[in-house]
Structure formats: C-alpha cells, structure tokens
A and B are shown apart, each in its own frame.
With several copies, the nearest count.
Chain A
C-alpha cells in the first residue's frame, strides 16, 4: 500500500523490509541510503542520539518528497522509513530505497530524498556527548530557512 511507503517508527528499521517495498519487475536498479549513528563528529564523541518527530507532518512531508521525485524522475518508486527515539552508535536512523529501470535516476532520486529530508521533514535529533547534550539545528549543521519553503543546498552530514 502506498501509505506504508513512508513510515516513522519507534523500533529498529529492517533495511530489507524497506527495499522490498520498491522491488518490481521493471526495476534494473535499486539504490538505498542507510543513515547510521556515527560515533565521532568534528572531534566530539557521541554516546547516543535521541530523535523526535512531528509524526503526522513528517509522514506528509515524506509524501511531498515523493511527489517531487515523481515529477523529476517519473519511473522511480520510493520508500522511506525514519526511526525516532533513542539510537545508539551504528543504529540505523533512516533508510531510503529507490527503484528504477536505470541506475542514474535511482542514484539521483535517492540523494535528492536525503537532502530534502534534512530540509523539510520535521524530525530533530539531540546529540548526547560525554560532557553534555544539544538539540541539533541551525547552530551546527543547518541554516535557518529563508522566507517560504526551504531550498536545496549542498551540505554534508
């Protein structure tokens, strides 16, 4: 069901489950992006993360990303699952799977999806270090939204 292509879960993500949602006979390529909790960021050791979401809007925004991708890469099929709650090092925070007859679109649509997630999907992470904790927002990784809808930028995470 199309409705389950986009999920916010409070339990561990099974990558295979997300991949299964995009499998089809027309596909020649499936790309997946698996976002995992990294131990070190800019010299600081992360102990664990906490993710919070505005769930109904987050699902709605994931579907909007799907609409945007269908407009640009019409032959693709997309599934995204994001986990929230407490995540330890190496735990999977997000899985994005894209299938397509040809590989170029599968790579491009996949990368577009993660960039848009980091811009418009209301999910926040709190970093817990040995010496403190902070909700991550514009002060570290992002920049404030310009007026209106956030635009695509080329940024790392």
Chain B
C-alpha cells in the first residue's frame, strides 16, 4: 500500500489530505496520471512528487511503504 499526501489546491479538490492506494509498485508518472483521472486533480503536470521527503523524477518507482507527497509549485517565503 502506498500513502499519498496532498496539499494546497489538490487537498481541496480531492476533499482529503491523504489517499491510500492499493498498489505495490508504480512509477511517479503513472501515479500522477492515475490520481489526475480518479480525483480530478488539476495542474498535476506542474506538480513534483516527493518520495520519503525527497524530490523524485517521473521515471522513479514508488514502492509499498513509501511516503509519497504531491508537491504543487511552492509559494512560501
């Protein structure tokens, strides 16, 4: 199982801050496409994905147990 954290507008669009996915392995790219479809998340193409608090590339693979977060363009400071 993979836990995906959502923030900012994504959290509001999905109406939840956390999604549990019943998969063992998935690439970052596939995860983004899957989430976009199922939860109608906008602008996911502009978002980064963090695996265990590190920025990941589209080709990287997420494994069961990883802490995954979708990181839309940040606006702190």
A–B contact, 8 Å CB criterion (strictly below): yes
Q: Which residues of A (56-104) have their CB < 8 Å from a CB of B?
A: 56-58, 60, 82, 93-94
Please report the C-alpha to C-alpha distance between residue A117 and residue B77 in the assembled complex, in whole angstroms: 6
Secondary structure at the A interface, as helix, strand, loop or mixed, is: mixed
Please report the C-alpha to C-alpha distance between residue A82 and residue B75 in the assembled complex, in whole angstroms: 12
Give how many B residues have a beta carbon under 8 Å from the other chain's beta carbons. Answer: 23
Contacts of A43 in B (CB 8 A): none
Query: B62 an interface residue at 8 Å Cβ cutoff?
Result: no
Query: A125 an interface residue at 8 Å Cβ cutoff?
Result: yes
Enumerate chain B interface residues (CB-CB to A < 8 A): 5, 7-9, 11-12, 43, 45-46, 48, 50, 53, 55, 57-58, 69, 71-77
Enumerate chain A interface residues (CB-CB to B < 8 A): 35, 51-54, 56-58, 60, 82, 93-94, 114, 117-126, 135-139, 141-145, 147-149, 157
